[in-house]
Amino acid sequence: MYFCTKYFNTKYFYTEYFYSMYFSDEYFYAEYFYTCTSTICTSTQSTSTYVLLHRVLLHVYFDSMYFYTEYFYTEYFYSMYFYTEYFSAEYFYAKYFYTEYFYNEYFDSMYFYAEYFYIEYFDSLYFYTEYFYSMYLYTEYFSAEYFYAEYFYTEYFYTEYFYTEYFDSMYFYGEYFYGEYFYTEYFYTEYFYTMYFYTEYFSAEYFYAEYFYTEYFYTEYFDSMYFYAEYFYTKYFYNEYFDSLYFHSEYFYTEYFNTMYIYTEYFDSILNVGFEELLLNQRDSSLPLQIICDAAHIISNVEAKWPGSVHDARIYRESNLSNRLQHGEFDGLLLGDRGYPCQPRLLAPYPDPGPQHNFNRAHCRTRARVEMTIGLLKARFQCLRHLRVTPERACDIIVACVVLHNIATIRGEQHPALQIDDADDDPIHLPAIQDGRTVRDTICNNHFRI
């Protein structure tokens, strides 16, 4: 009923039945810890009720200053109170892990696996694991000053309060992510995926993700001093208050973007889909621009004569430049966004990149020059943001501003602060662009092979 020891050391610990109402030891060491049937169940009465289960490890109170094992395996782990100053396990496996209170100052495990992970209160000063897997993860309070996992996977993640000063994970995957309060000073992951992301309050001083994907993103309050994502994708983006001092994304795509309040000192997106419609809110009254420039921000071609309802593909198809390219008057290739068709002389990114991720990344970074040029043009001539003239007059003003911009660029005048808010349209799929896809595939296979 009572297990207490100051020093426990064994290379191999095996028992078919392990029972203890109170487990306490200052130092626990075992290279292999395995139990087939270890059970305990207590009631509030003076007597205890024992329930035999198969391959179960149950503790009412788990207290250990130092716990170390190379292999920890149990199908069912239950503890009302789990406390340890130092917990280390190279391999940790539990199909069902339940504890009302989980606290440890140092948690280290190379492999952590639990199909069902339930904790009412999770508090850890240092949590480290190379592989973290859980089909169901639930906690009312999650706090960790330092959380690190190279691979983090869970199908369902729920927490009412999420707090961590440092969160680092190379791969973060969760089909359902829910948290009423999400706060972290430093959040880093190379791959972040969740089908449903919901939080009433989102705060992160530093948020970094190379790949961020979610079909539904909802938050009532979004606050981030620094938000960076090379690839940000969500079908539905909604929040009542959006506040970010620095927001950067090389690829920002959303089918639905709705927010009551937006504040940001710096918003930078190389591919920004849906944001221009939010700013203008009336595409029929806007005037889309088709601009071609070089690496020095000098504009060599501009199309400014179509209403906002016209697709980018049609603007390009009926332009003089398209005909001249088809007749072979120019050498080289043009890079267009997802709204343009893929042709032998006009390459668009892959709509759903898999192995072609490196090609799309190089494509985005190269095409960033035209986005920067458009940002410089709008920053240099503020009138282009809201032209209160007829469409015919607006076309003349735009062309005049382009000419003046080229003169200023050639003379080496100082660039104004960038204002990048361009938007891509939906990708185009036409039978006539098969040759363009062949050219794109050839370039991808020859220069961007993984």
Is the dihedral angle over the CA atoms 296, 300, 305, 308 positive or is it negative? negative
**Residue 314 pLDDT:** 67
Strand partners, 33: 13, 72
Strand partners, 144: 124, 164
Q: Over 80: is that where the pLDDT of 76 sits?
A: no
**Residue 246 pLDDT:** 65
Strands of 22-37's sheet in order across? 2-17, 22-37, 56-273
Q: Which of 45-54, 288-297, 426-435 has the highest mean pLDDT?
A: 288-297
Q: What is the DSSP string of 259-274?
A: EEEEEEEEEEEEEEES
Integer Cα distance of 300 and 117 in angstroms: 59
Q: Over 70: is that where the pLDDT of 55 sits?
A: no
- The full length of the chain comes to 450
DSSP-based three-state secondary structure for 278: helix
Q: Which of 41-50, 99-108, 281-290 has the highest mean pLDDT?
A: 99-108
pLDDT > 90 in the chain, percent = 1
**Which two structure tokens, joined as six digits, stand for 373?**
């040029």
**Which two structure tokens, joined as six digits, stand for 278?**
């939010």
Higher pLDDT, 428 or 7: 7
Q: Over 80: is that where the pLDDT of 404 sits?
A: yes
Higher pLDDT, 374 or 280: 374
Strand partners, 122: 102, 142
- pLDDT, tens only, 212-237: 777 777 777 777 777 777 677 777 77
- pLDDT, tens only, 83-95: 777 777 777 777 7
Strand partners, 192: 172, 212
Q: Over 80: is that where the pLDDT of 409 sits?
A: yes
Q: What is the DSSP string of 49-86?
A: -----SSEEEEEEEEEEEEEEEEEEEEEEEEEEEEEEE
337's CB contacts (< 8 A; 6+ apart) are 271, 312, 348, 349, 367, 424, 425
Cβ atoms within 10 Å of 407's Cβ, excluding its own:
11
Of 359, 413, 377, the C-alpha closest to 292 is 377
- Which of 56-65, 132-141, 370-379 is the least confident region? 56-65
Higher pLDDT, 61 or 97: 97
Of 161, 166, 165, 167, the C-alpha closest to 182 is 161
**Which two structure tokens, joined as six digits, stand for 95?**
């199909």
97's CB contacts (< 8 A; 6+ apart) are 77, 114, 116, 117, 118, 119
Q: Over 70: is that where the pLDDT of 396 sits?
A: yes
Strands 22-37 and 2-17: parallel
Of 40, 73, 39, 32, the C-alpha closest to 54 is 39
422's CB contacts (< 8 A; 6+ apart) are 272, 276, 371, 374, 375
User: What integer best gives the mean pLDDT of the chain?
Assistant: 67
Radius of gyration, CA atoms only, the chain: 29
Higher pLDDT, 29 or 231: 231
* pTM for the whole structure: 0.47
DSSP-based three-state secondary structure for 404: helix
201's CB contacts (< 8 A; 6+ apart) are 180, 181, 182, 183, 219, 220, 221, 223
* pLDDT, mean of residues 307-336: 67
Residue with tokens 């909802």: 218
**Residue 9 pLDDT:** 52
Q: Over 80: is that where the pLDDT of 271 sits?
A: no
* pLDDT, mean of residues 391-407: 86
Q: Over 70: is that where the pLDDT of 35 sits?
A: no
- Which of 27-31, 48-52, 263-267 is the least confident region? 48-52
Which strand (E) or helix (H) includes residue 219? strand 56-273
- pLDDT, tens only, 332-387: 677 777 667 777 777 777 665 555 666 666 666 666 777 778 888 888 888 877 77
Of 329, 239, 226, 240, the C-alpha closest to 268 is 226
* pLDDT, mean of residues 38-58: 32
Higher pLDDT, 103 or 33: 103
Cα 260 to the center of its chain, rounded Å: 23
- pLDDT, tens only, 181-216: 787 888 888 778 788 888 877 878 778 777 777 777
**Residue 403 pLDDT:** 92
Q: In the chain, how long is the greatest CA-to-CA distance?
A: 94
Integer Cα distance of 194 and 98 in angstroms: 24
| Opening angle at CA 310, ends 307 and 315, nearest 5 | 100
Q: Are 220 and 241 in contact (CB under 8 A)?
A: yes
Integer Cα distance of 105 and 126 in angstroms: 6
Phi and psi at 234, nearest 5°, equal -155, 135
* pLDDT, mean of residues 153-161: 80
264's CB contacts (< 8 A; 6+ apart) are 242, 243, 244, 245, 246, 247
